Structure 1
Amino acid sequence: MSRSYVRACALNEVPEEGVLAVVIEGTQVAVVRSGGEVHALKDNCSHSDVPLSDGEVYEGVIECWLHGSCFDLRTGKPDGNPATESIPVYDAKVEGDEVFVSLATDSQGAPR
């Protein structure tokens, strides 16, 4: 199955060990750089319904600014309370100086 990628931003717009909020096809997405890799996640904490892009990025996680829930950048899984539900993770790739994200979903409607 071929994925359709959409330009999200320029790579230099995403801070090292940081996050940039973008909207792709009406979906709020957090584009994150950590450990030299680029990730894309739904920009919404599964616990408190606030933007994750306002939080901190470190050691492969993004931390929600409101209650401290941390989510794995690769899987979207929380590492403990208060969040108990994963957040959607999207495929991201860098081509040249641009970041592209695919919002493609599986047969159950889940990202990837």
Structure 2
Amino acid sequence: MSNAAPWFDVLATDDLPNDDVIGIQVAGKDIALYTVGEDVFATDNLCTHGNARLCDGFLDGHEIECPLHQGKFDVRDGRPACDPVTEPLRTYPVRIEGSRVFLQIG
């Protein structure tokens, strides 16, 4: 019996934005999904500093800027990139299978 967290089919690759961020709901969680070039990343969608959705922020390369206080996070690992944020974001594994995007949520 496996204790691995389940994978969820969340959307078609055609629905991914180009070098941008979107918000999605998966397994009762608010998730921000980012594309940077050919790579796809996923984090919690709520800034750890303030009550702001990161999908409403500005993606610049691998950094998402919070729309409320302009703090930034690295979308690859969730670490804070500048003040005023100090707490990292939770990240989620992403995999692409064919034309579908899957997230591991546990």
- Would you call these one fold, judging by a TM-score over 0.5? yes
Q: Which has the higher contact order (CA 8 A, sep 6+)?
A: 2
| Residue type of the alignment partner of 1:91 | P
Question: Deviations along 1:20-54, whole A, 9 cap, x unmatched?
Answer: 11111100001110131000100010011211001
Higher strand share: 2
Matches within 5 A, 1:13-92: 13-92=15-94
Q: Which runs of 5+ in 2 are unaligned?
A: none
Identity %: 30
Determine the C-alpha separation between the residues in 2 that align with 1:96 and 1:58.
27
Q: TM-score, normalised by structure 1?
A: 0.86
Tell me the TM-score normalized by structure 2: 0.91
Q: Is the 8 A contact 1:17 1:32 kept in 2?
A: yes
Residue aligning to 2:102: 100
Letter in 1 for 2:105: L
CA deviation digits over 1:1-36, x for unaligned, max 9?
644210111112121111111111100001110131
Matched residues, number: 104
Structure-1 separation of matches of 2:58 and 2:96: 22
The two structures, once aligned, show a CA RMSD in angstroms of: 1.2
